[in-house]
Amino acid sequence: MSPSRKYRISLERSFYIWVLLFFIGILGYLNYQILKSFFISAGWAIVIALVFHPVFDFLKKFLKYRGITALVTMFLVIILFLFPFVYISYQIILETGELIRSVNLPELINKITANPLLSKILEKIGFITGGNISSLESLIKNELSGLLKEGALKIAHGFGDMITLLFNLILTFFIAFFFLKDGDVFVRKIEEFLPFAETDKTSIRNQIKNIIYTTFYGGIMIAMLQGTILGVTFYFLDIPSPTLWGFATAVCSFIPVLGAFTIWGPASIYLIVNGFIIKGFILILVGAFVISLIDNILKPVILKGKVRLPLIFIFLSVLGGIKVFGLIGFIIGPLVFSLFVSFLEILKNFVGGSENV
Instruction: Write out pLDDT tens, residues 240-274.
Output: 888 888 888 887 877 767 778 888 888 888 888 88
Percent pLDDT > 90 in the chain is 1
pLDDT band for 334, please (50, 70, 90 cuts): confident
Q: With 0.75 as the threshold, say if the pTM is over it.
A: no
The pLDDT, as a whole number, for residue 322 is: 75
The pLDDT, as a whole number, for residue 127 is: 52
Percent pLDDT > 70 in the chain is 71
The pLDDT, as a whole number, for residue 26 is: 93
The pLDDT, as a whole number, for residue 104 is: 59
Examine the pLDDT at 193 and tell me if it is beyond 60.
Answer: yes
Average pLDDT, rounded, for the chain: 75
Q: What are the boundaries of each domain within the chain?
A: 41-193, 195-357
Examine the pLDDT at 356 and tell me if it is beyond 50.
Answer: no
Distance CA 137, CA 205 (A): 55
The pLDDT, as a whole number, for residue 303 is: 65
The residue that leads in pLDDT, 312 or 112, is: 312
What is the per-residue DSSP string for 68-89? HHHHHHHHHHIIIIIHHHHHHH
Distance CA 82, CA 80 (A): 6
Examine the pLDDT at 140 and tell me if it is beyond 70.
Answer: no
pLDDT band for 355, please (50, 70, 90 cuts): very low
Cβ atoms within 10 Å of 162's Cβ, excluding its own? 9
Residues 21-53 have pLDDT tens digits of 888 889 988 988 888 888 888 888 888 888 888
| pLDDT, average across residues 310-330 | 73
Examine the pLDDT at 346 and tell me if it is beyond 80.
Answer: no
Cβ atoms within 10 Å of 260's Cβ, excluding its own? 26
Of the candidate ranges 9-13, 141-145, 278-282, the one whose mean pLDDT is the lowest:
141-145
Cβ atoms within 10 Å of 299's Cβ, excluding its own? 20
Residue among 217, 219, 241, 226 at smallest CA distance from 286: 226
Residues 148-176 have pLDDT tens digits of 555 555 555 554 455 677 778 888 888 88
pLDDT band for 357, please (50, 70, 90 cuts): very low
Asked if residues 215 and 334 have their Cβ atoms less than 8 Å apart, the reply is yes
Residue among 240, 214, 224 at smallest CA distance from 314: 214
Examine the pLDDT at 231 and tell me if it is beyond 50.
Answer: yes
The pLDDT, as a whole number, for residue 34 is: 87
219 CB burial (10 A radius; 0-12, 13-18, 19+): buried
What is the chain's Cα-based Rg? 27
| pLDDT, average across residues 311-324 | 74
77: amino acid identity, one letter: V
